[in-house]
Amino acid sequence: MIKHMRVDSRLIHGQVAVTWKNHIGANEIIVCNDVVANDRIQKMALPLAAKGTPVKVFSIQETIDYAKAHEDETLFVICKFITDALALVEAGLDIKEFNVGTVAPQQGTDYKMITKTIAATKEDVPVYEKLCAHFGNVYSRITPANEPVDVMAALKKEGLL
C-alpha cells in the first residue's frame, strides 16, 4: 500500500529524506518518473541525497508493478510531475495520502505561481481535477508541520479554474 504519495519536482532533498519519510514511517523511498528512471546519473545520485534511506528509482509501470507486489509494505512514493501521480491513481493503486510539495515552472509554458512552491498551467487543471475527484481534495504541504493549502482554491484564486 502506498501510505503517502508526494509530487515534488526536486524529488529527494532534506525535507523528503528525513521529515516526510519519518512522518510516514516508510523504510524506503520510491521515485516515480519515466525519464528519471532511464537516467543513470540520477539513479546513482538520488540515493545519495536520501541520507542512508534505501531508494528505488522506477518508471511509472515499474512503480505500479512494485506497489502491487508489495501491498503489505508501507510505501512512500515521490512523483516528479502531477501526471506521474495521476497515472498511479488511474492504475488503481491503494494510495492513502496525497500531497503536492514543489512543482517547478516548466520552461516555455504559460504558468502561474499558485502558491510559493507550485507552478501551474491551464493544461494542469484537468489533472488536478481528476486527482481531486479521487482524493476528495488536493492539498499542498511543504512539511508535515505546515498547514495544508487547498490547491484547487489556489488554482481558482489565480484564475486557472
- Catalytic residue list: 13
Cell, residue 157? 484564486
For residues 113 and 18, the answer to whether their CB atoms sit within 8 Å is no
Of 138, 100, 98, 132, the residue nearest 116 (C-alpha): 100
Q: DSSP secondary structure string, 53-115? A: --EEEE-HHHHHHHHHHTTTS-EEEEESSHHHHHHHHHTT--EEEEEE--BPPPTTS--EESS
